[in-house]
Amino acid sequence: MRVTIREVAREAGVSVATVSRVLNASGPASAAVARRIRDVAARLDYAPNEAARALIRSRTHTLGVLLPDLHGEFFSELIRGIDQRARQAGYHLLISTFHSDPLEMEAALRAIRGRVDGLLLMAPDVTTRALLTGLSADRVTVLLNPPVGKGDGTPHDAVCVDNVGGARAMTRHLLSLGHNRIAIITGDSHNHDAQDRLRGYRAALRAARVPRDPALDVAGDFTEASGFAAAQTLLRLEPRPDAIFAANDAMAVGALLALREAGVRVPEDIGLAGFDDVPMARYLTPALSSVHVAIDELGRRATELAVAAIERQRRRAGPRGEFGPGRRRGAVVTGKHRTEVLRTTLVVRSSCGADGRRAT
């Protein structure tokens, strides 16, 4: 059976409060009493109840991570970055998913209440209204790629990827290679990342005065299967597109397989590009051109913001206080909260019809 603090106190001949002060280093005790308590605790193999200590201190040294999914290289890289920084700061992770369902998100938020010191949340398919309903303004929360910076009033810090700029740059690059009929395989229309990448693609076409053909916009859902199906749809067009820009690398992989099965050469017949630059992109044949996102850095930076906020609020409010966000030079500040935007770069490989090289 587990030894209790009362048994330690009885064996040491002191009060429970004295044992607690000594073992938690939270109050005075004579050297002799402290030594006796520690000796008894060691002999009885006493281990403090961490859950109870967390309640007393209002700290769990745990970060919650709530994501729409865990499948694929993007999420594995994101979690890797979060985990690396969290371990450096002495935090554990409690990870859950909600599959882009606002009701599941709210249930997960209720389940972790009181169990974490801060929360990292990626909810690209969830409306701002649902975010405001599900999140407490005084809980330490860092949002990853939310619809922020658009007057939405979300009262939390955020780290975002420059989706619009990345998609615009890749489309501009494909145009520079002589591709005029550039198709796009989009993500779900309710996904904020997908909307921003589509905006960037269309902005590049407008800037180049290339007429937009609605038939070249084909919906996907960020999975390999949807990329495969979308490429099959594009291959039935007459004339066919001369390049395909998939809004993430997973859909580009599916598209590549569909093109290969149809006997279409990449890049000789149709150029291909993706978004995210997941590790596998360089190992495809042909190697995939992509918009590089520092996915692990996205996770690390969000974790740094959460940990810094936790420490600031602890210092400001005392051991029972909760944490609030701070500021950083170069951030886009709205009130006392801010959004940091991670730049993207083009990684040009052979799939789009150009020599492999990195470009800004």
> Is the confidence at residue 322, as pLDDT, over 90?
no
The pTM assigned to this predicted structure is: 0.77
Residue 265's identity, in one-letter code, is R
Q: What is the mean pLDDT of residues 53-66?
A: 73
Q: How confident is the model at residue 157 (pLDDT cuts 50, 70, 90)?
A: confident
* Pairwise CA distance, residues 171 & 316, whole Å: 48
Percent of the chain exceeding pLDDT 70 equals: 83
Helix (H) or strand (E) holding 246: strand 243-246
Residue 138 pLDDT: 65
Question: What is the CATH topology of the domain spanning 62-161+296-342?
Answer: Rossmann fold (3.40.50)
Q: What is the mean pLDDT of residues 273-287?
A: 96
Residue 100 pLDDT: 80
Question: What is the number of other CB atoms lying within 10 angstroms of the CB of residue 226?
Answer: 23
Domain boundaries, the chain: 5-48, 62-161+296-342, 163-293+345-359
CA-angle at 199, arms to 344 and 346, nearest 5°? 25
The backbone torsions φ and ψ at residue 345, rounded to the nearest 5 degrees and listed phi first, read -135, 155
β pairing state of 243-246 and 217-219: unpaired
β pairing state of 357-359 and 337-342: unpaired
> Is the confidence at residue 165, as pLDDT, over 70?
yes
- 38-56 in b/e form (b: 16+ CB < 10 A) is bebbeeeebeeeeeeebee
Same fold, 62-161+296-342 and 163-293+345-359: yes
The backbone torsions φ and ψ at residue 91, rounded to the nearest 5 degrees and listed phi first, read -115, 145
From 3.30.420.270, 3.40.50.2300, 3.20.20.140, 3.40.50.800, which CATH number describes the 163-293+345-359 domain? 3.40.50.2300
> Is the confidence at residue 120, as pLDDT, over 90?
yes
Between 256 and 43, whose confidence is greater?
Answer: 256
Q: Which of 288, 291, 272 is nearest to 344 (CA)?
A: 291
* Pairwise CA distance, residues 255 & 257, whole Å: 5
Question: What is the number of other CB atoms lying within 10 angstroms of the CB of residue 215?
Answer: 14
Omega before residue 124 within 30° of 0, cis = no
Residue 3 pLDDT: 82
Phi-psi region of 47 (alpha: psi -120 to 50; beta: other; left: phi over 0): beta
CB 127 within 8 A of CB 113: no
Residue 111 pLDDT: 85
Q: How confident is the model at residue 145 (pLDDT cuts 50, 70, 90)?
A: confident
